[in-house]
Amino acid sequence: MELKSLTNKNYEDTVILSPIPVVIDMYAEWCKPNSILESALAELDEEYGEYIKIVKMNVETQPELTEMFEIESIPVTIMMTGGVITKKIYGIPPKEQLIEDLELKTIKDFKDRGINYHPKRNFIPNYIRNEY
């Protein structure tokens, strides 16, 4: 499955107004290892697509966003929640490491319980704190 592209035009609707966390794969056409990361993120999109939104952004064609995100090297994956950067992951971690770093199992579990989880705040209510 092809990931949706993030551009200046769709940034507000895709990221700022998203009711769920957004994961952005920063890439460039010339960066061959990035295809490995993109395929892992596409798999995560299939597994966790109802809990998070995964998009990709070409750093060469979106210089304004690249500057705004302060991207100095790629590959880098950014997670945003409520329009705020909550995670930055550099390099190409294995899929299981991405699941852990992005806290996808926790986000899924919270969403299934009807609770909105914000990765940066890491607030876990007392009644389920012992489960983690």
pTM: 0.83
Rounded Cα distance between 43 and 88, Å, is 19
- What are φ and ψ of residue 56, in 5° steps? -125, 155
* Tens digit of each residue's pLDDT (9 = 90 or more) over 70-82: 998 888 999 998 8
Judged by DSSP in three states, 68 sits in helix
Number of H helices, E strands in the chain: 6, 5
* Tens digit of each residue's pLDDT (9 = 90 or more) over 50-107: 999 999 999 999 999 999 999 988 889 999 988 888 889 999 999 999 999 888 888 8
